[in-house]
Amino acid sequence: MTEALGLPPLGDEAAYRQAVAEAVAAAADYYGDGSTPLDDDAYDRLVRRVAAYEEEHPDAVAPDSPTGKVAGGAVSGDVPHTVPMLSLDNVFSPEQLLTWAASLERRLGRPVEAWSVEPKLDGLAVAARYREGRLVQLITRGDGTAGEDVSHAIGAIVGLPDRLPSPATVEMRGEVMMTAAQFEAANLIRVEHEGTPFSNARSGAAGTLRARERPYKVELSFFGYGALGLDDALAPRLAESAHSEVMAYVAGLGVQTTTATGAGIKACADLADVRSRVEEIAGLRTELGLGIDGIVIKTDAAADQVDAGFSSRAPRWAIAYKLPAVEKITRLVEVQWNVGRTGVIAPRAVLEPVQIDGTTVTYATLHNAADIGRRGLLLGDQVTVYKAGDVIPRVEAPVVHLRTGAETPIEIPSACPRCGGEIDTSQQRWRCVQGRLCHALASISYAVARDALDIETLGRLRIEAVLRAGLIADFADLFTLDYDAVLGLDRMGETSTANLLAAIEAAKDKPLNKVFCALGVQGTGRRMSRRIARHFATMDAIRTADIEALQEVEGIGPERAALIVNELSALSPVIDKLAAAGVSMVEPDAELGEPAEDEGLPLTGMTVVVTGSMTGPLAALSRNEMNDLIERAGGKTSSSVSSKTSLLVAGEKAGSKKDKAAKLEIKIASPDEFAALVEAFL
């Protein structure tokens, strides 16, 4: 069984007993003070190995085994539940989901009438009891039969009102958790009060819910997933209602449900619809701003739930489809300090390799020096690591209770790691005082790349050569290069020199958005440069824009606007040199104050994904050129298909993105069809 799941089997009874002890200890820590040496994925895998061993050795099952028990048997309570508060069984693949559904329908002797699908939130299950509309008691799930009274938390949980708009006597069941914003705020508050940061949002919620006396307030959120009537009038009404109807009733009383997450609750007519919905929620996972570790699939009809019944620990009419972990615990080995093209000094964590969501992670982002201190990180720490946007690994926090005493402070640089010069520490993101001059090669390479000035004949080796010769200090100096000086460089003949200077001369006619992109202003990129250029039309208008004026551009808020103003001030000498050299700094066909996206463009308001090999009129375009084409036609580009995708351009060998778009009923265009749509911009 374990081999089929891709897990190593437990070799003997001693290994089994050790695994049981480890799982029980992890569950006890989590359901105790909220700390845990194992992340959710590691705990699931451990318990699955224990279950596999027990299936093969039924006579060797340990009495304290976590299998078949709510919360792994780690907790109990002294407040009885009105109805047992059970866990859910898990599946881990589409095939296992179909097998479970088929088994359920065999048990019912009929097809399931309708399914309900919603995100599985990564929090703590609680029961909130209202008497005549007033919240009077909060109880944890405990062992499923009885839980712990945590009523001291009443009033500190968003989404769980103290009073309902009607005098209902009802029990709301749901998850208490921290959103990403609440988790960040909680750790800031804890550090301010000389506490250690929570290692992750789940343990932070567990510890906060049980904390009775703290000199500060930490906010939590509640998301309901069910309700029970507690009086003779409401009890039968809710018991006989479909799950979707119950949740509509809960939301109508002002109690927050999973609908507020952005993923919501959806009724599905068949399993094909269920699978499509599962993929849709999984695709939204990184956009929700809170932790989900799976998707819950339930029978919607009350009759199906009654007829399916319960096992000893879980309802037979519901299942949790678990998603791959996006957060793991590993060791912080080293911190490297890198200098970017704008002179920003950024720390990078070197980690013991760890698998997160199917990829091996060795490096992760650390924000800045202040953030390292705020999070209390030490070299050698066990740290939680997660994938931001499912792409960039980031270090979240140390797991303090796993420290051995061998950890050492992280050395913070006192001089620029690249040039040895002074560091400007006036902002959170430190910079070398030389700015772009510290890393001129990277800065100039960025400026002449395809997304900016697109000077093809000016590669890295030639940039290094003109820098070593002292002919340029920044990319603006390229436009005043002397023919004889360039000809005197190694490997530069008359023809290559003439070609290089001709390419540089041609770059003077690039539109404003390309020139602005070449500046490498922090907080901008190719897309934002296009928006700014379309809005202001000239470089002079951009330079004179204040913070308020910049905020009129889509996607620019107060902080980014302030950053751009400061950056442009620092770049004034470069911009002055560009103007003196005759570089055109206007956006063709744009007028001052024009929106970045014209309403008359064919892709206005559309998010477009391109996949596969392009053919026909698009065959010669690179992926960057395709993205540029989409943006010129008024659209936005994305690399992944989701419910927000408007159009998929599918070339040859389109693969899984095309399949996903079809399931989400997203419009799919061939390269020829798309070329016809944007013909005017080719």
| Selection from 438, 272, 268 nearest residue 339 by Cα | 438
Task: Confirm if 332 and 384 have CB atoms less than 8 A apart.
Answer: no
- The answer to whether 644 is a known catalytic residue is no
Strand pairing report for 157-158 and 79-80: unpaired
Token code pair at residue 500 = 């290089």
* DSSP conformational letter for 559: H
Task: Confirm if 264 and 94 have CB atoms less than 8 A apart.
Answer: no
- H helix or E strand, kind and range, residue 167: none
Distance CA 48, CA 54 (A): 10
196 C-beta neighbours (distance < 10 Å), count: 16
Distance CA 123, CA 39 (A): 13
Distance CA 420, CA 431 (A): 12
355 C-beta neighbours (distance < 10 Å), count: 13
Task: Confirm if 175 and 320 have CB atoms less than 8 A apart.
Answer: no
Distance CA 489, CA 480 (A): 16
Token code pair at residue 332 = 């912080």
357: CB partners within 8 A, 6+ apart = 324, 325, 326, 387, 390
Dihedral sign, Cα of residue 284, residue 121, residue 164, residue 215: negative
Residue 257, strand partner residues: 224
CA distances from 117 to 105, 270, 304 (A): 17, 11, 15
- Helix runs in 165-286, H state only: 180-192, 201-210, 234-239, 243-252, 271-284
Distance CA 610, CA 636 (A): 11
Three-state SS for 52?
helix
* DSSP conformational letter for 220: E
Task: Confirm if 241 and 302 have CB atoms less than 8 A apart.
Answer: yes
Distance CA 537, CA 585 (A): 9
CA distances from 80 to 77, 171, 306, 546 (A): 8, 13, 22, 62
Catalytic residue among 69, 120, 514, 660: 120
- H helix or E strand, kind and range, residue 31: helix 13-32
Task: Confirm if 118 and 263 have CB atoms less than 8 A apart.
Answer: yes
Catalytic residues: 120
